[in-house]
Amino acid sequence: MAALVGDAAGSGDVLVARATAAGAGALAIVRLSGPSGRTLDVARGLAPRVPFPPEARHAYFSPLLDADGAVVDEGLFLFFRAPASSTGEEVVELHAHGSPAVVEELVRAAVSRGARRARPGEFTRRALANGKLDLARAEGVGLLAAAASRGEARRAIGLVRGELSRRVALVREDLLGALVELEARLDFGDELAAGDDGPALARLDRARRTLEALGEEVGAGRVAEGVPTVVIAGPPNAGKSTLFNALLGEDRALVTEVPGTTRDAVSELVEICGERVRLVDTAGLREAGDPVEKLGVEAARRAVAGADLVLVTREPGAGAETGLDLPSGVAPLLVGTKADLGPAGGAGGLRVSARTGAGLEELRREIGRRLGAGGEGGSFTGLPRQGEALRRAAVALDGLGPATPGELAAAGARAALHALGEITGETATEDLLDRVFSTFCVGK
């Protein structure tokens, strides 16, 4: 793939940063990337026993030196020749023990020999500039590095592997083909055989319908903006805290036989059907006389008002009325608790026993279904800005028909191509790239 955009200021620098997660661990990787020759020169000063020139993609065991030339660790030295590297530049990786102090000494040693500490996302930005990946795949790299659930990782790897990019490329082929036909007729109409713009306009219409369908797919599988909130609500002593602990897999909320034990909203992140969910336990809803309990009830109602899904708990023999003022568009999920103690009350809903585990898996699946989690369908993942670009591309082609003048049709095709280029990077501005890569971690 050809290079898409220039790098930010400082593209000739040798970059250095820790490429593994911060904190102590068994292993850490310090990565250097930059111009051929200079990068290797910096790295060789940190690992003097490595032969010169080193064999590419060969692991050498060597003492690793700090800025004063003292041995700070022993580890592996790996050399990647440009352009056959992750960034397209000359790359060296130092594999050391995962001590933050050791890593910092190695980074400082590289800086003392002429390297510069990398900014967030700068390695991936150089890979983009050198044509190793496009912008959509680069954003997938950032999402994958930050994924905190199986669902997030699954969607991110789809972007990394180019699923969205391939679909966009197919539409671009149609748009470019139509634009060539239209511009040829506009520029050389007198010299071409008689005909009209019908075939080109038909291609543009096909591209529009494809973009609309792709936009719907991306929307269905779009990376969530924030973590959905699931609130457990209901009357006192209805098993809310016990259910909260069971779904969480640990005793986080206090559970007693005394009604009104929970005095404030307690929340934790939990993975349900492969997705991160913020699960909230709340105080029992009733008319409270105790001022502290009254504050808890008010907090519970606020939590319900901001929920994406509300689990309404009911004890055996209780009625089906929720007594809740739910957010617009949020239907309650009725949960009959304490199923091991007696028959369900009211109608509908699921029955669970947090003590025996009965019904909990079914409840998890229903929560996942309500939140659109855990699907393995064909929806393509996308970020909000990518979905917006697809929408603008489709709108640019909207309204084109057999009577549309060639100039307007060509202008629509060019506008659509520009919008799609923002997804893959061909028309990305430096401001857009700055915004994208500012969300990456250092070392990525």
* Domain presence at residue 47: yes
Distance CA(34)–CA(123), nearest Å, equals 10
- pLDDT of 184: 80
Number of domains in the chain: 3
Q: Which two tokens stand for residue 334?
A: 């009725």
Q: Are residues 79 and 110 in the same domain?
A: yes
- Going by C-alpha positions, the residue among 168, 145, 181 that lies closest to residue 444 is 145
Give the domain extent around 217. Answer: 151-222+380-424
CATH number of the domain encompassing residue 97? 3.30.1360.120
Whether the CB-CB separation of 47 and 34 falls below 8 Å is answered with: no
Q: Are residues 251 and 343 in the same domain?
A: yes
Distance CA(260)–CA(297), nearest Å, equals 9
Q: Which two tokens stand for residue 306?
A: 């901001």
Please, is 427 exposed, middle or buried when counting C-beta atoms within 10 Å of its C-beta (0-12, 13-18, 19+)? middle
Whether the CB-CB separation of 332 and 322 falls below 8 Å is answered with: yes
pLDDT under 70: residue ranges of the chain = 1-11, 187-197, 219-226, 250-264, 286-293, 317-325, 327, 342-348, 373-381
Cβ atoms within 10 Å of 191's Cβ, excluding its own: 7
Whether the CB-CB separation of 142 and 124 falls below 8 Å is answered with: yes
Listed as own residue / partner, the contacts of 356-362 with beta carbons closer than 8 Å and 24 or more positions apart are: 357/246, 360/246, 360/247
Q: Are residues 187 and 58 in the same domain?
A: no
CATH number of the domain encompassing residue 321? 3.40.50.300
Phi/psi at 398 (5° precision): -70, 140
Q: Is the pTM of this model over 0.75?
A: no
- pLDDT of 5: 41
Q: Are residues 233 and 215 in the same domain?
A: no
The CA–CA distances, whole Å, from 187 to 85, 183, 407 equal 44, 6, 11
Q: Are residues 184 and 276 in the same domain?
A: no
From 305, 340, 371, the end of a domain falls on 371
Cβ atoms within 10 Å of 245's Cβ, excluding its own: 18
Distance CA(388)–CA(225), nearest Å, equals 14
β-pair type (25-34, 15-18): antiparallel
- pLDDT of 7: 44
